[in-house]
Structures are given as C-alpha cells and as structure tokens.
C-alpha cells in the first residue's frame, strides 16, 4: 500500500480516509490513478480534483459514498455508472438493521484492500454484470433461522457471511478451528484465489506444473473436505502446506498460498512506501533494504529474503507489546516453491494481459 497525502495541505492521509483531519478537504480514491485525491465541491453533486495531474477535472462520489457512507471511491463526472468499480462487484447485501450497516462497511473496506492489490498486480477483475461467465461478484449474507450462510466461492460468485465482520465471532471461530490467523481481508484474499485459479490455471499450460506442486484438483472436493474434518491434517503438514486447511484439497492449497502471496506483496509494498529499513548491529542478523517495489522485481528469491527480514521484525515488535505474531507461519521449501509458482504465473499474465477498455488503467481479467 502506498502512502498518500492531502493535495491541499500535504498532510498524510490513508486509504480509508474520507476527510483530511488537518484542512478538512474531502478525500476520495481514484482507482485508475491508484491514489487518494483531495476534492472541492463544484456544485450539482460534482467535485473538482485538487491533484495537479487532474487540474480542472470533475468527479462524482460513488453512490455508496454519498448516500450510504460505506465507500470512499470516486468516478469521472461523465461516467454512466453510479457505483465505483469496487461497489459494482457487490451484488447482494444484508438487510441494514442492527449492526449490519457496520458489518457491511467493514466488508467493503476489506474488499477495496483486495482490489487495490489486484489492480497493482494488473489482475483487475471484471464485474459479472459485464461478463456473466468470467466475471466476479460478491454477496454479503446473514444467517437466517433455517439457513446458515457459508463463506465460499462458486464460479466467480464469492459469498461471505457478514458475521465474519464481527471480531468477537471471528475470534471464537478461529479458536474453534485451531487457526493461528483469521482476518476479514484474509477471507477476501483466500476466496479470490479460487476465482483466479479458474482464470489463470484451469485449462491453461500451467495446469500440469500446478498439479505437480499442489496435487490433482480433480480429486473429489466434498470427500476430501470430509476426510480433513474427520481425520485432521497429515502429521507432516507443515512441511508441505502453508496451513492445515491447505492440506484438505489442492484447490484449498492454491487458495491459501494465493492469499499468503497477496499478504506478502502488500506488506512489502507498504514497508517500501514507508521507507522501512533494518540495519542491525550484528552482520549475522536479518537486514532489510527495500530499493524498489516488490512488484517491480522479478526475483522471487530477493522478495523472500526481504519477507523473512520483515516478518522477523514485525513479529518481534508484536511480542514486545504483548500481541500475537503478525505472521504466525513457517514457510517450508515446498511452500516456497508453491509461492514462487504463483509469482511466475502472475508475472507471465502481466506480460500478456490486454489493457482494459474505458481508461480504467489496468488490465482486466476476462478469460
């Protein structure tokens, strides 16, 4: 994640902000430029950008920004759409009673974080409204007395139980499932992995090397999950998988590894944007000098070296304030091979992806 600053006063602002706390300027995110921009009202519901690159251009707030206050993305003033490219992907929301509006806001915030990473990777998804077969959609649903909502993916439709936006519920489930890590953003990253398996691996030249590393995804999914829940993971799971759940089926192994790859890329990108360095007093301790964005380096080994150094200090800092490790995972040699495979698939896609129509500024995945 980049660092952002108010165009009016230079104050540092953040990805989720809607207002500069220093000068009061209205803020909005422009996905085509990957940046938070400051705006001033121009009348008739339009906003004039104060960013030097957009001098004089008019924009409008996403409907879910201006009316629902769950978004902070902007659209060009002449766009025929009322929803931004992120909110267009949301097809269903729960009844907005009780805490549901708060949960919806948290879900949309995590989704925008996911889309930021995907756009940086040049993997911008297209909405199912525009491409019913290859597009992506989200539905945020609530448990009903006779129907429980299961988080999952089905042919480009990602369903999330809005209870996952409740930290108390999420922590309870994490304990019950014996998981070291469970976050709302992690759910989005994991489920997006299933979508991108269909877009990047299935039916391509990558499927055979995928099976060599992850296993044959044609194995019965339901049967595999039942065995996993009945018997647990294999004893040597930490030598072969990033998590116990990854051992349940090759699809889940891919999705868990994909989520961790996105986790690494975004965290390293944030560390680079903040100018983070590690310069220990001993030469044999982890060092970190990020000279470029991880996305601009084709060297997976260099990225992993930086990642190990960064997680070392993140975990150490968390322990110093009595918090759990920020990254409670061990990456075996085989897991690293799986992550490198994902890295290479994404690099290859970036080299061949067509540019999006309509000036969205990133290749759009339509396969």
Mean pLDDT over residues 265-288, rounded?
88
Q: Is the pLDDT of residue 21 over 60?
A: yes
Tokens of 10: 């230079």
Last residue of a domain, one of 83, 104, 137: 83
Q: What is the mean pLDDT of the chain?
A: 91
* Residues 93, 78 share a domain: no
Mean pLDDT over residues 293-302, rounded?
79
* pLDDT for 43: 85
* Residues 123, 54 share a domain: no
Put the strands of the sheet holding 46-49 in their side by side order.
26-30, 35-43, 46-49, 58-61, 74-76
DSSP H/E element including 197 = helix 184-200
* Residues 267, 237 share a domain: yes
Mean pLDDT over residues 10-35, rounded?
95
pLDDT digits (tens, 9 = 90+) for 128-173: 999 999 999 999 999 888 889 989 999 999 999 999 999 999 989 9
Last residue of a domain, one of 35, 61, 83: 83
* pLDDT for 330: 86
* pLDDT for 167: 92
> Which domain covers residue 68, as residue numbers?
4-83
* pLDDT for 360: 44
Residue with tokens 């009780």: 98
* Residues 283, 308 share a domain: yes
Q: Is the pLDDT of residue 345 over 50?
A: yes
* pLDDT for 100: 94
Question: What are all long-range contacts of 105-109, with beta carbons under 8 Å and residues at least 24 apart?
Answer: 105/69, 105/70, 106/165, 106/184, 107/140, 107/160, 107/162, 107/165, 107/184, 108/64, 108/70, 108/71, 109/16
* Residues 127, 18 share a domain: no
* Residues 251, 164 share a domain: yes
* Residues 232, 212 share a domain: yes
Q: Is the pLDDT of residue 361 over 60?
A: no
Domain count, the chain: 2
Last residue of a domain, one of 83, 117, 142: 83
* pLDDT for 127: 92
* Residues 206, 184 share a domain: yes
DSSP calls for 233-267: S-TTHHHH-SSTGGGG-HHHHHHHHHHHHHHHHHH
End-to-end CA distance of the chain: 27
Please give the share of the chain, as a percent, with pLDDT higher than 70: 95
* Residues 8, 117 share a domain: no
Mean pLDDT over residues 200-209, rounded?
96
pLDDT digits (tens, 9 = 90+) for 24-48: 999 999 998 899 999 999 988 999 9
pLDDT digits (tens, 9 = 90+) for 112-127: 999 999 999 999 999 9
Tokens of 216: 């044959």
| CB neighbour class for 282 (10 Å; exposed up to 12, middle 13-18, buried from 19) | exposed
Sorting pLDDT into bands at 50, 70 and 90, what band is 181? Answer: confident
* pLDDT for 352: 78
* pLDDT for 356: 45
* Residues 282, 198 share a domain: yes
pTM over 0.95: no
Q: Is the pLDDT of residue 19 over 60?
A: yes
* Residues 100, 41 share a domain: no
245 CB-near residues (< 8 Å, 6+ apart): 179, 228, 252, 256
* Residues 288, 223 share a domain: yes
Sorting pLDDT into bands at 50, 70 and 90, what band is 320? Answer: very high
Q: Is the pLDDT of residue 357 over 70?
A: no
Q: Is the pLDDT of residue 176 over 90?
A: no
**Angle at alpha carbon of residue 20, lines to 111 and 96, rounded to 5°:** 40
Mean pLDDT over residues 269-283, rounded?
88
């Amino acid at each position: 994640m980049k660092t952002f600053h108010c165009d009016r006063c230079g104050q540092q602002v953040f990805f989720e902000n809607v207002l500069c706390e220093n000068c009061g300027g209205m803020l909005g995110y422009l996905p085509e430029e990957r940046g938070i921009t400051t705006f001033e009202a121009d009348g008739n519901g339009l906003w004039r950008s104060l960013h030097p690159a957009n001098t004089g251009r008019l924009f409008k707030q996403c409907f879910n920004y201006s009316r629902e206050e769950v978004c902070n993305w902007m659209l060009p003033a002449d766009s025929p759409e009322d929803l931004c490219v992120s909110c267009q992907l949301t097809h269903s929301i729960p009844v907005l009673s009780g805490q549901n509006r708060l949960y919806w806001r948290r879900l949309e915030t995590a989704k925008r974080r996911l889309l930021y990473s995907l756009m940086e990777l040049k993997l911008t998804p297209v909405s199912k409204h525009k491409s019913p077969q290859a597009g992506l959609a989200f539905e945020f649903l609530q448990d009903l007395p006779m129907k429980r909502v299961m988080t999952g993916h089905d042919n480009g439709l990602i369903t999330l139980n809005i209870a996952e936006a409740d930290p108390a519920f999420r922590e309870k489930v994490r304990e019950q499932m014996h998981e070291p890590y469970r976050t709302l953003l992690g759910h989005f990253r994991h489920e997006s992995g299933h979508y991108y398996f269909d877009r990047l691996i299935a039916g391509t030249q990558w499927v055979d090397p995928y099976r060599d590393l992850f296993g044959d995804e044609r194995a019965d999914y339901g049967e595999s999950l039942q065995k996993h829940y009945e018997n647990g993971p294999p004893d040597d799971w930490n030598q072969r998988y990033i998590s116990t759940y990854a051992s349940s089926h090759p699809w889940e192994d891919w999705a868990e590894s994909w989520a961790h790859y996105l986790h690494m890329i975004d965290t390293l990108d944030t560390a680079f944007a903040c100018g983070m360095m590690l310069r220990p007093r001993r030469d044999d301790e982890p060092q970190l000098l990020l000279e470029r964005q991880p996305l601009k380096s084709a060297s997976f080994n260099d990225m992993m070296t930086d990642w190990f150094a960064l997680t070392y200090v993140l975990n150490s800092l968390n322990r110093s304030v009595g918090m759990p490790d920020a990254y409670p995972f061990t990456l075996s040699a085989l897991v690293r091979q799986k992550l490198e495979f994902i890295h290479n698939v994404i690099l290859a896609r970036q080299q061949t992806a067509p540019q999006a129509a309509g000036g969205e500024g990133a290749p759009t995945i339509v396969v």
